[in-house]
Amino acid sequence: MKLDEYTLAVVDALNAENLPYLVVGSLSSNYYGIPRATEDADFFIDLESGSLSWLVARLGPEFRLDPQLTFETATGTTRAVVRVAQTAFKIELFKLGGDAHDQERFARRRRIQVAGRDVYLPTPEDVIITKLRWARKKDLEDVRDVIAVQGDAIDWDYVYRWCDVHGTRERLEQIRREIPKI
Q: What is the pLDDT of residues 136-148, one digit of tens each?
A: 999 999 999 999 9
pLDDT at 182 over 70: no
Least confident among 26-35, 51-60, 106-115, 165-174: 51-60
Average pLDDT of the chain to the nearest whole number: 91
The dotted CATH code for 5-178 is 3.30.460.40
User: In sequence order, what are the residues at sequence separation of 6 or more whose Cβ sits closer than 8 angstroms to the Cβ of residue 37?
Assistant: none
CA quadruple 8, 107, 37, 42: dihedral sign: negative
Which pLDDT belongs to residue 73? 72
pLDDT in tens, 92-121: 999 998 899 999 999 999 999 988 999 999
Q: Where are the domains of the chain?
A: 5-178
Its pTM stands at 0.92
pLDDT in tens, 70-80: 887 766 788 89
Instruction: Report which DSSP code applies to 21.
Output: E
- Number of residues written out for the chain: 182
pLDDT at 3 over 60: no
Residue 127: left if φ>0, alpha if ψ -120 to 50, beta else—which one? alpha
Rounded Cα–Cα distance for residues 89 and 67 (Å): 17
- Mean pLDDT along residues 37-62: 86
Which pLDDT belongs to residue 46? 87
pLDDT in tens, 6-41: 999 999 999 999 999 999 999 999 999 999 988 899
